[in-house]
Chain A
Amino acid sequence: MTINGLDNINPALIALLIPVLILQVALILLAAFDLLREDRRVRGNSKAMWAVIIVFVNLIGPILYFLIGREDGPVDTTPGPGAMPGWGSPHDPPIIAPLLPESAPDAVRAALEAPRAVALPDGPPAIVVERLVRRYPGGVLALDGLELSVPAGSVFGLLGPNGAGKTTCLRLLAGLTRPTAGRATVAGLDPAVDPLGVRGRLGYLEQDPRAYPWMTGREQLRLVGQLHGLGGPVLETAIDDVLGRVSLRDAADRRAGAYSGGMRQRLGIAGALVHRPPVVILDEPVSALDPEGRRDVLGLIASLRGETTVLFSSHVLGDVERICDRVAILDHGRLVVEGAIDELLDRYAQPVWRVEAEPGEDLALSQLADRLRLVPWVTAAVAEHGLLTVAVSDTGVASRELLPAVAASGVAVVSVARARPTLEDVFLRLTGDEGAAA
């Protein structure tokens, strides 16, 4: 080989350059391959910083810039079953599945079905919150002397309008943040004093749960199980079991970076259950699910009653009403009310009548509502979308006088019926919030 001015160089030495060239060509091919699979969702900030290094190295700069700039590696771009971002698929199979695979060895089955070493004592509540205060830097008071008691084995719903302090409360109970004052116990331990002990007895689902995009769903559950000290066939069987319970078996070996929001939520729920904790805390566990997925997950939560204590927050009041034994309503960081749902309905829900009008009767219905608001035994009357809702203070009087009043108004009516009060009625009355209880 002859290079201008380098004639005296032993040509054999040039052979030493071959590995350098091979590595650079390999990097070019890798870059091309990676760029074809590029997914912007997994790019990270460090790309820019890697660029500085690449410029420094300069020979292989443009190639490594794209290669090393990727924080999370290639993503499985196989379309997941989720039909829309943030929603599970309506085509997902039913969620409740047999608890253990038929093929599970007897020893594994026995280990999984045996009571866990940490069992909740009979009698005392699983979760107790006493005068809990949390003030964030900047002065925002998220919790203001919150008091709460969650009975062992119950399914307990936490409700409240936006900013009521629900998520702060749940994070405090999981030991992820510290209280400014007051104390709490979870399964007998104080999360501020022994956060590791609490988390060992806890399954916790964050609002908007995240996943490592480079891991498969099964690997993520394995990581969680191992962090709880599980391993071997017991863990593998537990993973298979819980994947079945949340209907993720088919997607279990796909990278979580390709999961929809609903699938991530199912994976997060599976992670909260894989180690069979005595207490489960779920922050908005069904918020990203479609109606079918929500029904299935609610069924799963309900099935834990008596076996595990479940505390969960939700902005869908109907969901809470369907599966909870007890609920607590928070507002401005304080407990507004807590109790069994029937008890709250009896105590706080006012009797309600609903008048359904024929189409085109909206104006007449609205005028009727205006007149009814002036009647002493009517506490509220709202006409909306052809439906008049009348809350009354005296059911006896209302039973006698409402129908004649409607008839006298001349509104063409489809039906007049006394409606069962709902948790939403209680919620709106106690929080004075016309919006959703997010």
Chain B
Amino acid sequence: MTGFTVLLRKELTESWRTRRLPLLAIMFVLVGLISPLTAKFLPDILKAALGDQISGIPLPQADATAAVAQLQKNLGQLGALAAIVLAMGAVAGELDKGTAALVLGQPVSRSSFLTAKLVAIGIVLAISTGLAMIVAWIYTAVLFEALPVGGWIALLALSWLGLFVYAALTLWASAATGSTMAAAGLGFVALIALSLAAVVPTLDRLLPSGLAAPASMLATGATDGLDPAKLATAVAGSVVIVAAAAVGAVAAFRRREL
């Protein structure tokens, strides 16, 4: 792909210079720090806040599994929104500012232009998610117990894939509509639609939501109930969504007037 490497370098430099990468990393690190702390203190906070009223109500366990669950919940929500925000203006913003014509007036294919953006967003999300995982693992080890590193690497990879799906779908919307706000809206619609679809168990096996439970089991080392087939279909389904979104984005962008 003509110009891909040059454009990828430009995208990553832009992420650094415009502070998207460092600030997203800080946000994710905060989530990584706060999640195990929340898991640790939440039962005590509830007891302190509710006093005697809490008798009979089961309190969440303060353990490593709760820390992983808290991290997944926080990253799943914040991360999906961050992925949408990262991707929504990636193409539409450049069309709006006229810089897309600057780059595409050079010997650069539109597929290189889009792929460089998608890969750069993936790298930014991977760095941020990775940092969140590192600090969360350390805090979990200090507050509860040291969990298997290999399992956390799997948690990182699966969490990243789940977020990358929303980034790819939003990038598609950004390329197809040429509007930042429309892309954001469609990204949220995709987020809600995939969440609703996950209610159906047969669909859940094929969607990013199906990655969460296996990831949690791998991270905590409680792999007895792990269904490798379900994990494989969820991974394959997510990869297919990303690939379809990338192909759709290129097809839509090729038809677009600059």
Contacts and interface: CB of A to CB of B under 8 A. Distances in A.
B19 A68 contact: yes
Given A206-B105, A208-B98, A68 B93 contact: no
B102 A68 contact: no
Interface residues of A, number: 57
Nearest to A209: B102
Interface string A313-325: 0000000000000
B198 to A, nearest CB: 20
A196 B2 contact: yes
B99 A211 contact: yes
Interface stretch (A120-128, A220-228, A291-299, A426-434): A220-228
Nearest to B109: A196
Interface residues on B, range: 35 or more
Interface in A1-53: 3-6, 8-9, 13, 16-17, 19-20, 23-24, 26-27, 44-46, 49-50, 52-53
Nearest to A204: B105
Contacts, number: 145
Interface stretch (A57-65, A362-370, A374-382, A410-418): A57-65
Contacts of A70: 18-19
B143 interface: yes
Nearest to A206: B101
B154 interface: no
A214 interface: yes
Given A45-B89, A211-B99, A23 B30 contact: yes
A93 interface: no
B101 A46 contact: no
Given A3-B48, A46-B93, A227-B6, A53 B81 contact: yes
Given A3-B48, A16-B142, A196 B37 contact: no
B56 interface: no
Contacts of B48: 3-6
Contact of B44 (A6, A45, A71): A6
A269 to B, nearest CB: 13
Contacts of A50: 85
A52 B84 CA distance: 11
Contacts of A227: 3, 6-7, 103, 106-108
Interface string A206-217: 101111101100
Nearest to B34: A20
Contact of B89 (A6, A46, A60, A68): A46
A16 B101 CA distance: 49
A232 to B, nearest CB: 14
A57 B139 contact: no
A44 B26 contact: no
A177 B107 contact: no
B14 A212 contact: yes
A52 B185 CA distance: 12
A254 interface: no
A13 B257 CA distance: 58
B143 to A, nearest CB: 7
A224 B108 CA distance: 10
Nearest to A212: B99
B248 to A, nearest CB: 20
Interface string A241-279: 000000000000000000000000000100100000000
A52 B184 CA distance: 11
A53 B81 CA distance: 6
B6 A176 contact: no
Contact of B18 (A9, A73, A206, A224): A73
Nearest to B82: A53
Contacts of A199: 105-108
Nearest to A196: B107
Contacts of A210: 97-99, 101-102
B23 interface: yes
Contacts of A56: 77-78, 81
Nearest to A210: B98
A208 B101 CA distance: 11
A53 B187 CA distance: 14
Interface in B237-257: 257
A176 B77 CA distance: 39
A174 interface: yes
A81 interface: no
Contacts of A228: 106-107
A23 B40 CA distance: 20
A67 B19 contact: yes
Contacts of A163: none
B27 A60 contact: yes
Interface in B177-212: 180-181, 184
Given A57-B27, A60-B30, A199-B105, A20 B37 contact: yes
Interface in B1-29: 2-3, 6-7, 10, 14, 17-20, 23-24, 26-27, 29
A425 interface: no
Contact of B30 (A52, A57, A206, A223): A57
Nearest to A137: B257
A332 B155 CA distance: 62
Given A49-B88, A68-B19, 18 more contacts: A20-B30, A20-B33, A46-B180, A49-B85, A56-B77, A59-B34, A64-B27, A73-B19, A176-B105, A196-B107, A199-B108, A206-B102, A210-B97, A212-B99, A214-B18, A227-B6, A227-B103, A227-B108
18 contacts: A6-B41, A6-B45, A8-B44, A13-B40, A19-B135, A23-B26, A44-B93, A49-B184, A57-B30, A67-B19, A71-B89, A176-B104, A197-B107, A204-B105, A209-B98, A223-B103, A226-B6, A227-B106
Closest 9 A-B residue pairs measured CB to CB?
A5-B48, A210-B98, A73-B18, A200-B107, A227-B106, A204-B105, A199-B107, A214-B17, A226-B6
Interface of A: 3-6, 8-9, 13, 16-17, 19-20, 23-24, 26-27, 44-46, 49-50, 52-53, 56-57, 59-60, 64, 67-68, 70-73, 171, 174, 176-177, 196-197, 199-200, 204, 206, 208-212, 214-215, 223-224, 226-228, 268, 271
